[in-house]
Structure 1
Amino acid sequence: MRHAIVTGASSGIGEAIVDLLLSQGWRVTGLSRRVVNKDCAQFRSIAIDLMDTQALPDALGNIDQPHAVIHAAGMMAAAPLGELNPEIGRQLWQLHVSVAEALVNYYAQKLPHGGRFIIIGSRTSKGAAGRSQYVATKAALVGMARSWAAELAPLGITVNIVAPGATETPMLQAPGRSSSPPSVPPIGRLISPQEVAALVSFLLSPEAAAITGQELVICGGASLS
């Protein structure tokens, strides 16, 4: 039975990924701030504060070998120039970039041939006014993922970024995100977490074995203009 580790498993995109993988017969270990209760013997929940730099290495030593690692944990923050908070910037970097780095570094030599690393990025990785600290972390992930993909390709391991646009999750309504409502993409609605999870699922499939080092955007057409 294939085993996946999913960060941010308690809500939003991470939870949707967990639910879809369980329905497809995967065994899943979810990492999140709080324990997640699911009526499923194939799911294990580990409560962890990913902002704690020592918590993740300690946790990984007690998790069975995975076939896939999906980093979906994230936080939203927005601030214009003149109001940037260095501590918020540090937290964003730790959660988005440092955790991804730690996961790939730990499992790069442990994943089997055909293993998968998938990181949830953002369509704003190319830039967004008032969100420079958030964007900086998502842009960094793209370059890092491409570098990791090049290094791991000879081992048969792929690394990809799934970059959603405005997705209907609790994080989208977070107080630190913005004072204005999210822009509705051209398709006339927000993206659903299940749609993002479906793209992740495809990247985990044998048919996606030749896709690596890519940033796959799912934004309902928002990136067209």
Structure 2
Amino acid sequence: MHPTALVTGAARGIGRQIAVSLAREGYAIAVVDTDFDGYREFDEAAGSVVDELREIGVPTIAVEASTTDVEAMQELGARIHQDWSRLDALVCNAGGGSGGFADNTAATIDLSALDDVLRRNLHGTITTVQAALPALRQATNPAIVTMGSLTGVVANPQGGYAHYGITKAAVMHYTRYLANELTPEGIRVNCVAPGLISTGRLRVRLSEQPEREKEIADRLGTPDEVAAAVRYLLSPATTHMSGQVLQLWPPDVR
């Protein structure tokens, strides 16, 4: 029987690569995103992640919904529980920021932007975990991986994007609290905190800041590297690891 995984924010970028890489390892995959055609914004030729998963040949559940939609996520959790009887892996990747990299400094944060990003990053993670827990509790060695960020560990020296960094810091500390609660049940909980990753969205934003693009071009990580870190945290190699944040960036990147 296939191991099973739920990956949120899987239409493109990091989430897509995580879902596809797990499918290639034989996982049955449930994917959630607000728009599975969202890849078209940055890579028209990429095709749908749902089609790619089905071409790989693994059982696939695909739901278009926001992870902040409590009812939709509860319905998905119940469907996974009913169809697959258990959930071995949960990857809470959905989220994101808003505005430009120079916007929303700590002293000028737009509160409506902060509310929106907080809902997507923190509320969405919490809602997903709560929906998935009944199925996770049926697995033998289940694992949860959340998605933090460099900006949640180190303040951006340019000052911008503080609203995003603050919410990612909250996700990382939520992960520690969740690990304290769930590890005694046999559910390990860890976090991946990537630095700048070469996704379509980031490449578009950097193209608007040529000096910044030139400065960091050779220090960008890849979605493959993040997916590899997630697979590691889901693997038997980390059975005794919980409540940790795995940081993915070169030491000189700030």
TM norm structure 1: 0.88
Q: Please state whether the residue corresponding to 1:37 is helix, strand or coil.
A: helix
Q: Paired residue for 1:114?
A: 141
Quick one: distance in 1 between partners of 2:185 and 2:161? 36
Report percent identity of matched pairs.
27
Q: 1:8 to 1:118 in 2, by over 3 A?
A: same
Determine whether 1:24 maps to 2:18. no
Q: Please state whether the residue corresponding to 1:25 is helix, strand or coil.
A: coil
Q: Please state whether the residue corresponding to 2:175 is helix, strand or coil.
A: helix
Q: Paired residue for 1:50?
A: 67
Paired AA for residue 95 in structure 2: G
Quick one: distance in 1 between partners of 2:165 and 2:19? 26
Contact in 1 for aligned 2:95/2:124 (Cα 8 Å): no
Determine whether 1:184 maps to 2:185. no
Kindly report which structure 2 residues correspond to 1:114-133, keeping only aligned pairs within 5 A, or say none.
114-126=141-153, 127-128=155-156, 129-133=159-163
Paired AA for residue 62 in structure 2: S
Quick one: distance in 2 between partners of 1:174 and 1:71? 24
Q: 1:25 to 1:121 in 2, by over 3 A?
A: same
Q: 1:184 to 1:13 in 2, by over 3 A?
A: same
* Larger Rg, first or second structure (1 or 2): 2
Contact in 2 for aligned 1:118/1:161 (Cα 8 Å): yes
Contact in 1 for aligned 2:80/2:135 (Cα 8 Å): no
- Alignment root-mean-square deviation, CA: 2.5
Quick one: distance in 1 between partners of 2:19 and 2:127? 21
Contact in 2 for aligned 1:75/1:171 (Cα 8 Å): no
Kindly report which structure 2 residues correspond to 1:1-225, keeping only aligned pairs within 5 A, or say none.
1-35=2-36, 36-38=50-52, 39-42=55-58, 43-64=60-81, 65-77=86-98, 78=101, 79-81=103-105, 83-111=108-136, 112-126=139-153, 127-128=155-156, 129-173=159-203, 181=212, 184=216, 188-222=218-252
Contact in 1 for aligned 2:188/2:239 (Cα 8 Å): yes
Q: CA deviation at 1:109?
A: 4.7
> Which has the larger helix fraction?
2
Deviation string, structure 1 residues 58-83 (Cα, Å, up to 9, x no partner):
33332343111101112223424465
Quick one: distance in 1 between partners of 2:130 and 2:195? 28
Deviation string, structure 1 residues 79-115 (Cα, Å, up to 9, x no partner):
2446532222122111110111112223335412411
Q: 1:23 to 1:119 in 2, by over 3 A?
A: same
Q: Mean alpha-carbon deviation: is it higher for 107-116 or for 127-136?
A: 107-116
Paired AA for residue 184 in structure 1: I
Q: 1:117 to 1:80 in 2, by over 3 A?
A: same
Contact in 2 for aligned 1:121/1:138 (Cα 8 Å): yes
* Matched residue count: 222
TM norm structure 2: 0.78
